[in-house]
Amino acid sequence: MIPVLLIVATIVFFLIHLIPGDPAAVILGPEATPEEVEKLREELGLNLPLYSQFFYWLIGIFQGDLGDSIYMNKPVLQAFVEHIGPTLSLALLAQAISIIIAIPIGVLAAKKQGTFVDHLFMLIAMFGMSLPSFLFGLLLMLVFGVHLQWLPAAGYQPLGAGIWEHLKYMILPAFALGMIQAAVIARMTRSSMLDILSMNYIKAAKAKGLKERVVIYKHAFRNAFIPILTILGETFGSLITGAVVTETVFNLPGIGQLVVNSIVRRDYAVIQGTILIMATTYLVLNLIIDLLYGVVDPRVRLNRK
Amino acid sequence: MEMKPSIQMEPKIDYDHFTSIRNQLKKEQRSLFIKRFLSNRSVVIGGSILLVLIIFAIVGPMVSKYTPLEIDPVNRLQGPSAEHWFGTDNFGRDLFSRIAHGAQVSLGVGLSVAFLTAVIGLFVGLYAAYYSILDHIFMRICDALMAFPDILLAVAIMAVLGPRPVNVIIAVTIVKIPVVARIVRSSALVVKEQTYIEAMKALGASSWRIIWFHTVPNALSPMIVQVTYIFAIAIILEASLSFLGVGIPAPNPSWGNILYDGKTVIYSAWWMTVFPGLFIILAVLGLNIFGDGLRDLLDPKSHKAINKQ
């Protein structure tokens, strides 16, 4: 994981520094004299050769210092923490909605394989997979925000303003984002369950006279859960991707907005830091999921020893 | 000189006969494949949707009376009518014409990304599978690229390259190469261990020959299936980038930046969100259905086989 992170850091740094435009000139505006720009460049360390900037940045990271935002005049970490709230809330709600919808649907579709119910659910899932979250967000906004006016079309209230106030603004974006996740998870759950349901030990359990519910949930589902868990980890990336664009649709002041604005402002440190944190989160999350296999499936634990 | 008659003594081989049998077999195989292709419901449905969209992208701009850039301030934000089939946008431009031209852009970007990721991913995946030094380098870079959320990486690349259609293709291709490379690599690794490859090596075949003539045909099917999905993802990513304002630059139409314009007037002009949205859904749905069908056809071990038990 560490080498991958190093490559991630390198790619981020050099990619961001390839962006045309001089941050010092952007901060000072068009009326600044070349001397002023040069002075600020020196203060910000932009006059150093690229490799030493990279080196200082790397050393900083190892010390837990991601640098300072030159535009907002505060540490990158602080800017990140200020913007993570809406994104985290959105991602978690979306994930929760998708799991609550998708897993029962996937299990049911597997149980009723080949019937009308199965085909209907899988058709809906196919449709859901083809609906980009920002587009679904726009359509939800059009129906529930603009025409029916049940919920606010856009905007944000932090959790501090009350749970309902917060949720009122989060429901539409979370549904928009959760739908595509739900479709992927439902399809995975179905095929994973079908895999398990055709095994001999399930026949044996049924032959013993166990109730279907027990067979499905206690015997089959626990074994079908590993591929589902993997999908949950892998789709975290697409969840964040979706969150970034969905935030823009609903004007949520989250990470997506932070990064997009920072690119416009040539605020190198913020872009680098934020993308690095995101990539690290993705890697750590997948590591945690690898470890969770052992918790879910005792066989994995035994094999490792 | 003594040898010559003995050679002539051997039974005469009728090569023409063999060639004709081989051609016959090939023909039968091909017609069998076409038959299976056409009997797969998903392939037919998905393919038809795609065909309709491609025809729309070609014919649409011809039948439209308006050009996509023609501004008409008097007729701003008109709803759908006989004059403007999909209505007009906030500059009075004809939406039908914009969506039809946008179809060329979106499908063009998708197709180019699909093609480029396929070619580059094939190279990277194959050589990673056969040379372990390259494997370490390529796969770590792929891991790193895959750790980025797609859209953030694409936005950053677009910021470096600047908003131009070609750059959208480059950005999305870079983001999606690792997916293809990994799939090609994993099928190539399986092929590499097969006995017939060992036999080829024993016969003294060069690694170039083994890779391109004996591995590629076996790694191709899973790759083609994946590339179909990437086509769909590329359309979504292009639309997302344009929606964020860093993709296809205005005033050129793409489905994404029509949606971007539409969001500012969502309270008064639903058609600017619904129509381009519909086309995005249609394109992605068609590709996903087509891809599922192809997967069942080309990769019998996958889901369908399991489902049939």
pLDDT digits (tens, 9 = 90+) for B61-112: 787 777 777 777 777 777 777 777 777 777 778 788 888 888 998 999 999 9
Indicate left, alpha or beta for B133 from its phi (over 0: left) and psi (-120 to 50: alpha). alpha
Q: Confidence band (pLDDT; 50, 70, 90) for B39? A: confident
> Smallest CA–CA separation between A90 and chain B, in Å?
16
pLDDT of B306 strictly over 50: no
Q: What is the DSSP-derived secondary structure letter of residue B92?
A: -
Query: Residue A190 is encoded by which pair of tokens?
Result: 């179905």
Query: In the beta sheet, which residues pair with residue A68?
Result: A75
Q: Which pLDDT does position B11 carry in this prediction?
A: 63
- CB spacing of A191 vs B307 below 8 angstroms: yes
Dist CA A210 CA A214 (whole Å): 7
Which residues of chain B make contact with A129, given a CB cutoff of 8 A? Answer: 288
Could you tell me if B155 and A259 are in contact, meaning their C-beta atoms sit under 8 angstroms apart?
yes
Which residues of chain B make contact with A132, given a CB cutoff of 8 A? Answer: 236, 239-240, 280, 284
Domain ranges of chain B: 94-298
Which residues of chain B make contact with A282, given a CB cutoff of 8 A? Answer: 147-149
Q: Which pLDDT does position B14 carry in this prediction?
A: 74
Tally C-beta pairs within 8 A across A and B.
136
- Count of CA atoms in the C-beta half-sphere (13 A) of B209: 9
Q: Which pLDDT does position B308 carry in this prediction?
A: 39
pLDDT of B303 strictly over 50: no
- Count of CA atoms in the C-beta half-sphere (13 A) of B22: 6
Q: Confidence band (pLDDT; 50, 70, 90) for B301? A: low
- CB spacing of A278 vs B159 below 8 angstroms: no
Phi first, then psi: what are they for A67, rounded to 5°? Answer: 90, 180
Neighbours of B114 (CB within 10 A): 26
> Smallest CA–CA separation between B242 and chain A, in Å?
11
Maximum Cα interatomic distance, chain B, rounded to a whole number of Å: 99
- CB spacing of B285 vs A127 below 8 angstroms: yes
Please list, in sequence order, all residues whose beta carbon lies within 8 angstroms of the beta carbon of residue A68, skipping any fewer than 6 positions away.
A74, A75, A76, A269
Taken as a whole, chain B contains a residue count of: 309
ipTM of the complex: 0.80
pLDDT of B164 strictly over 80: yes
pLDDT above 70 as % of chain B:
92
Q: Which pLDDT does position B307 carry in this prediction?
A: 43
Burial class (CB in 10 A: 0-12, 13-18, 19+), A28: middle
**Angle, helix B255-264 to helix B216-244, in steps of 10 degrees:** 20
- CB spacing of A138 vs B156 below 8 angstroms: no
Instruction: List, for residues A20-51, the tens digit of each pLDDT value.
Output: 777 777 777 777 777 877 877 777 777 777 78
Cα dihedral across residues A247, B239, A278, A182: positive or negative = positive
Query: Residue A127 is encoded by which pair of tokens?
Result: 């449709």
**Angle, helix A221-250 to helix A268-296, in steps of 10 degrees:** 160
Instruction: Give the residue ranges of DSSP H helices in A112-162.
Output: 116-129, 133-140
Nearest CA-CA partner of A193 in B307, B15, B273, B154: B307
Dist CA B137 CA A11 (whole Å): 14
The vertex-A93 CA angle with A131 and A1, nearest 5°, equals 85
Please provide the DSSP assignment of B19-44 as one string: HHHHHHHHHHHHHHHHHHHHH-HHHH
SS3 A75: strand
Q: Confidence band (pLDDT; 50, 70, 90) for B52? A: very high
Dist CA A160 CA B248 (whole Å): 39
CA distances, B26 to each of B16, B31, B32, B33, B300 (Å): 15, 9, 10, 10, 21
Q: Which pLDDT does position B115 carry in this prediction?
A: 94
Please list, in sequence order, all residues whose beta carbon lies within 8 angstroms of the beta carbon of residue B304, skipping any fewer than 6 positions away.
B295, B296
In our burial notation (b when 16+ CB lie closer than 10 A, e otherwise), range A257-291 reads bbbbbbbebbbbbbbbbbbbbbbbebbeebeebee
Dist CA A188 CA B17 (whole Å): 51
B150 or A159, greater pLDDT: B150
Overall average pLDDT of the B161-186 stretch? 89
Which of A1, A4, A196, A246 should one mutate to test binding to chain B, selecting the residue with the greatest count of B CBs within 10 A? A4
Which residues of chain B make contact with A3, given a CB cutoff of 8 A? Answer: 140
Tokens 């600047």 sit on residue: B162
Dist CA A242 CA A93 (whole Å): 13
pLDDT of B222 strictly over 60: yes
Nearest CA-CA partner of A251 in A161, A141, A139, A143: A141
Overall average pLDDT of the B41-57 stretch? 89
Overall average pLDDT of the B154-165 stretch? 84
Dist CA A181 CA A86 (whole Å): 18
The dotted CATH code for B94-298 is 1.10.3720.10
Burial class (CB in 10 A: 0-12, 13-18, 19+), B11: exposed
Please list, in sequence order, all residues whose beta carbon lies within 8 angstroms of the beta carbon of residue A253, skipping any fewer than 6 positions away.
A83, A86, A156, A247
Dist CA A68 CA A45 (whole Å): 12
Q: What is the DSSP-derived secondary structure letter of residue A68?
A: E
Q: Which pLDDT does position B8 carry in this prediction?
A: 54
Q: Which pLDDT does position B309 carry in this prediction?
A: 35
Dist CA A273 CA A71 (whole Å): 14
Please list, in sequence order, all residues whose beta carbon lies within 8 angstroms of the beta carbon of residue B263, skipping any fewer than 6 positions away.
A138, A249, B243, B273
> Smallest CA–CA separation between B161 and chain A, in Å?
7
Q: Which pLDDT does position B109 carry in this prediction?
A: 92
Q: Which pLDDT does position A256 carry in this prediction?
A: 82
Q: What is the DSSP-derived secondary structure letter of residue A288?
A: H
Dist CA A148 CA A19 (whole Å): 43
Overall average pLDDT of the B173-190 stretch? 90
Least confident of A158-162, B19-23, B303-307: B303-307
Query: In the beta sheet, which residues pair with residue B43?
Result: none
Overall average pLDDT of the B104-132 stretch? 91
Instruction: List, for residues A191-240, the tens digit of each pLDDT value.
Output: 888 888 888 888 888 888 888 888 887 778 877 887 788 787 777 767 87
Instruction: List, for residues B231-259, the tens digit of each pLDDT value.
Output: 999 999 999 888 888 888 878 888 888 88
Q: Which pLDDT does position A302 carry in this prediction?
A: 62
SS3 A69: strand
Beta strand pairing call for A68-69 and A74-75: antiparallel
- Flag residues of chain A having pLDDT under 50: 305
Q: Confidence band (pLDDT; 50, 70, 90) for B1? A: very low
Could you tell me if A167 and A86 are in contact, meaning their C-beta atoms sit under 8 angstroms apart?
no
pLDDT of B302 strictly over 60: no
> Smallest CA–CA separation between A278 and chain B, in Å?
7
Dist CA A279 CA B306 (whole Å): 35
Overall average pLDDT of the B205-232 stretch? 87
- CB spacing of A4 vs B144 below 8 angstroms: yes
Cis peptide before B251 (omega within 30 of 0): yes
> Smallest CA–CA separation between A189 and chain B, in Å?
12
Please list, in sequence order, all residues whose beta carbon lies within 8 angstroms of the beta carbon of residue B281, skipping any fewer than 6 positions away.
A127, A130, A131, A135
* Closest residue to A240, CB basis, from B149, B246, B284: B149
- CB spacing of A132 vs B236 below 8 angstroms: yes
Q: Which pLDDT does position B305 carry in this prediction?
A: 41
Q: Which pLDDT does position B235 carry in this prediction?
A: 92
Tokens 């004299």 sit on residue: A33
Q: Confidence band (pLDDT; 50, 70, 90) for B268? A: confident
SS3 B88: strand
